[in-house]
Structure 1
C-alpha cells in the first residue's frame, strides 16, 4: 500500500472515541518528534511553517513553502499532508505536481482569499480540477472558512461543503467551528470531517471533538506556538 493509500485508509472507519489525530510539524525536527511519538501521519500547518521561516501567516513564498514541506516529508516515514493555503495562484495541474514532488500525500485548500470568502461555485470548480489532476494520489481536505471570514452560519458552511464534496473533496474542514455546532455540521456533511483541536482544555480536546462528530483533528499553528512559548520560558531562565 502506498503512503497516499495508507493516509486515505486512516480516515475510514473512525469511531467517535477514536478520531484521527494529526499533529502539525513546522520543520523536520518537529516532524521527527511527532513520528517518534507514534502518530501514524502528520499534517503541516501553513502558519506554523511560516513562523519557522520568519514570515507572517499567509506571506510565505510558494517556493519556500514547498521546500519546507519537502524537508518535512524527507525527515519521516509516515504520510504527510500539507497545508498550501489557497494554492498560491498555481494552476491545479502545477499545484498537484509540486505537492507530489514535495512528497505530500494530501493537501489543505482554503476557500477564502485576503480575508474574504471565495465564490463557492468557482472554488468547487478549482477543487474538481485539483481532484482530476491528482487522481488518487492526493487526499484533498477542503477548508471551509465560514466561521473565520464569513457570518458563522452553520447552514452556509454545510452548503459550501456540499459543493466541495460533489467536486471530489475527500474531507471537509470548517476551521474555527465552535464545538457546539459540530453535531449539526456532522449531520449535514458527507464524509470525513476535520475539526480544529486546542490545547487549553475548553472542550476542543481530540476525544471531545470526536464525540461531537469529528473524524480527524488537526491543530493549526497551535503546537508550534506552544513550543515557541516553552522556548521563551527557557530563554527567560537564561537571562542574567
Structure 2
C-alpha cells in the first residue's frame, strides 16, 4: 500500500461521512475515468457490466483476474478514489470472497462491493445465512488491511426476481450488523422504498441510477436519506448509444451529421494525462 492509496481511501471514507449525497461516477476504462475525474466527480466506480462490455462480453462473464486488472488500470489512471464492483466475490465460499477483498486492496482501490447474487439462475440469491457469512468474511478481510477499505454490501433481490422489500431490508440490516460500511439495494422501485431502506439503517446507503422510471434526482435521493449515488452502466450506455446512432446514420443515410454534436478532440484531450 502506498501513501497515495491510503490518502485516497481516507478521502473516500470521508465522502460518506458528510451530510450531503455525492455522485460516484462509473467509468469503463482509463480515459473515461480521467474525463470524469477532470469534470470534478469526487470518486470513480467500476461497473461489472461496462468492464465486461469492453472485452466484448456480457455482465458476469469476466474472471477475477480480469476484474483486478481492470480495477488496477482505473485506480492508476486518476488521483481520486476508485471503488470496484466485485460482483459476488467471484465465488460462493466466504473464504474466496475474503481473498477477493485482499486482492482488490492490492490494486490501489479505496473500496469495493460484494453482492448476494449467486449467478445461478435456479437460485439467483444466496440463502440468508450464506449471504451474511460472505459479507462477514469480506468485512474481516477489509478490517485486516492497513487502510480504511470501504466495503459495500449489496442485496440484489430487486434485480433478480425477488422484489421483496422486507427481505431486502432484513438482509441489509444483517449486512450492516456484520460490519459493512455502505449498504446497497439496486433496483428499488420508488422513493418510498428508498426512504424505507434508508430509515431502517444507520450506515450510508448507495442508490443506483440507471433504470428508466426508477431513477431520481440528486435532491430527491438526498432528501430520502441516500448518501451515495452510483450510475451503473448508464454513462457507458450513453457513450455506446452515441456510437450506435452515429454508425447507423453513416450506414443507412451515408451522412455525417453526428459530427456536429461532438465534443472537440481538444476539449476531450485536456482531461487525459498522456
Q: Same fold (TM over 0.5)?
A: yes
Following TM superposition, the consecutive aligned residue runs of length 4 or more in structure 1 with deviations greater than 6 angstroms are none
TM-score by length of 2: 0.81
Count the aligned residue pairs. Answer: 237
User: What 5-or-longer segments of structure 1 have no aligned partner?
Assistant: none
Once the two structures are superposed, residues 97-139 of structure 1 have per-residue CA deviations (whole angstroms, 9 ceiling, x without a partner) of 2101211111111111124111222222222222112215311
For the residues of structure 1 that align with 2:97 and 2:198, how far apart are their CA atoms? 28
Once the two structures are superposed, residues 2-61 of structure 1 have per-residue CA deviations (whole angstroms, 9 ceiling, x without a partner) of 21111011001323xxx1101100111110110000111111111111111111111112
Select the structure of larger CA radius of gyration.
2
Question: Do residues 153 (structure 1) and 164 (structure 2) align?
Answer: yes
Question: Do residues 188 (structure 1) and 193 (structure 2) align?
Answer: no
Query: Aligned ranges for residues 73-222 of structure 1 at < 5 Å?
Result: 73-89=75-91, 91-114=96-119, 115=121, 116-135=124-143, 136-180=147-191, 181-198=193-210, 204-222=216-234
TM-score by length of 1: 0.92
The Cα of 1:183 is off from its aligned counterpart by 1.1
Of structures 1 and 2, the one scoring higher in RCO (CA 8 A, sep 6+) is 1
Which 10-residue stretch deviates more, 25-34 or 203-212? 203-212
The Cα of 1:203 is off from its aligned counterpart by 5.0
The Cα of 1:161 is off from its aligned counterpart by 0.7
Query: Aligned ranges for residues 217-232 of structure 1 at < 5 Å?
Result: 217-232=229-244
Once the two structures are superposed, residues 155-204 of structure 1 have per-residue CA deviations (whole angstroms, 9 ceiling, x without a partner) of 11111011101111011111000123111111112210111113857652
CA RMSD of aligned residues (A): 1.8
For the residues of structure 2 that align with 1:213 and 1:179, how far apart are their CA atoms? 13
